[in-house]
Amino acid sequence: MSSTPIYDFVKQISDSTISRFFMPGHKGRHPFDPFFQDVSRYDITEIEGADVLAQAEGIIGESEELAATLFGSRATLYSTQGSTLGIQAMVSLISGRGDTVIAGRNAHMAFYNACLLLRINVRWVLPSHTDPYGICGAVTPDQVERALCDCPKAAAVYLTSPDYLGNTADINAIAGVCKKHGVPLCCDNAHGAYLTLGETHPIKQGAAVCCDSAHKTLPVLTGGAYLHLGENCPWTKQDAKERMALFSSSSPSYLILASLDLANRYLAEEAPRGYERLRGEMMEMRRLMKQKGIACLDNQADYAKLTIDAGRTGWDGLELAAKLRQSGIEPEYANPYYVVLMATPFLTQRDWNRLSEALKKITPGRPITWEDTPYCLPEAVMPAFQAARLPWESVPADLAVGRVSAQTVAACPPGVPVVTAGERIHEQIKNICKKSGNFTLKVLK
């Protein structure tokens, strides 16, 4: 059986009768709900023997080494603050190599915010076959090649794969392009931790560094994540630990750390069979959808995600999501164009039966031809970190067209910037902002 040093220590403390003259304040005896009374026994801080996440040399360091073996990385570091912390650390590492990074526009807000804080310029690459919101599609090797030729002093290439809808980039080919140009490839693999069970995880495909939100697809508590360093990573584990410490809390959750620790055992013992069963369930759902005439995106690499193409099915995605809710199905995400369903081996047969019955109740209609055009990158007038510090005013969205944005606007989820500070707002951006509920915008005076 795979060892679980963090969980074993936390369990030992929970079972002991020691007097807790240390944080947190509940002292293992939460005064309210019985659930929290039980959980609080496992909720500790960095006491003697518990190791220190920022300088992991004891039980946390041992567990991280086990994770690195499972993921095939040179080093794997734990985060209790989601992939956001991993993204912040990656951008901070990149900043030591230069002031410009090439990035896919479908990057999460956490990347953009880190670049703003660290005064990093972003040379955006718009994913191919993008949708009106700019989130659907993948950056191609040719696009990366052209971007690196146009910006030879770029410090790194930063990509999101899989994206929120399940689209995956050709990381293996893009890693080859980056190697030729001598720049590291950094990946936001927040939705793909489980891909380590095959050969499509970014670390196995040649990425220098990547982050995974373990809690999205593995049995890990919300906030649990990894930062992986690949064999060709130009930074050391100590470099990464120091950059993570710049942004992280000095009081990490041991409940989350213990769940990451237990995930090692799951990955080593049960996950291969569990995800093989999941692949079969998803293939059956896709077969049923095809039979019913329900269109979905061909995101077979990210096979744990089922993205219904609502427009091709003849539905508004928001209406389709409401229809699924009537059958007891709560989607991960829905907008007028898509409905995203995320699955793991921990769904029950009852859940699969319910989804099957819900899909059978959907009657496809005539495909909807959306009037919106593919998302168009706005003009970059000045660096975001400069614009964010200038005087601004709030105006109705209709009056913001042609003005330079003083803020970043994103619909969350998926958290992809529609417009960033320093970019000129055009008509399409105004329309997207209004559809997302942003009826007033901050613009530079």
What's the CA gap between 290 and 284, in Å, rounded? Answer: 10
Please list the pLDDT of the chain residue by residue as tens digits (445 residues): 789 999 999 999 999 999 999 999 999 988 888 888 889 999 999 999 999 999 999 999 999 999 999 999 999 999 999 999 999 999 999 999 999 999 999 999 999 999 999 999 999 999 876 666 656 678 999 999 999 999 999 999 999 999 989 999 999 999 999 999 999 999 999 999 999 999 999 999 999 999 999 999 999 999 999 999 999 999 999 999 999 999 999 999 999 999 999 999 999 999 999 999 999 999 999 999 999 999 999 888 999 999 999 999 999 999 999 999 999 999 999 988 899 999 999 999 999 999 999 999 999 999 987 666 678 889 999 999 999 999 999 999 999 999 999 999 987 667 888 899 999 999 989 988 888 788 999 999 9
Residue-wise DSSP of 103-161: EETT--HHHHHHHHHTT-EEEEEPPBT--TTS-SSB--HHHHHHHHHH-TT--EEEEES
Q: With beta carbons less than 8 A apart as the criterion, state whether 165 and 135 touch.
A: yes
Q: Which residues on neighbouring strands pair with residue 380, listed in sequence order?
A: 423
The dihedral through the CA atoms of 32, 38, 39, 45 has a sign that is positive
* Residue 54 DSSP class: G
Q: With beta carbons less than 8 A apart as the criterion, state whether 159 and 185 touch.
A: yes
pTM of the model: 0.95
Residue-wise DSSP of 378-393: PPB-S-HHHHTTS-EE
What's the CA gap between 226 and 228, in Å, rounded? Answer: 6
What's the CA gap between 358 and 325, in Å, rounded? Answer: 9
Q: How far is CA 275 from CA 167, 195, 268, 351, in A?
A: 19, 10, 12, 16
225: tokens are 């994540």
